[in-house]
Structure 1
Amino acid sequence: MRGFQAASFTLSDKAETILKNFSTSYSLPSCIVTRSKIILMAAEEKNNTQIAEALGTTYSTVSIWRNRFYNNIDLIAQ
Structure 2
Amino acid sequence: MFTEQPTMQDLFGQLGLDNSDAAIDAFIEEHRGMNPSRHIEQAPFWNESQKTFLQSALDDDAEWAEVIDQLNAQLHHD
Normalised to the residue count of structure 2, the TM-score between the two structures is 0.33
Query: Relative to total residues, which structure has the larger helix share, 1 or 2?
Result: 1
Greater C-alpha Rg? 1
Higher relative contact order (CA 8 A, sep 6+): 2
Normalised to the residue count of structure 1, the TM-score between the two structures is 0.33
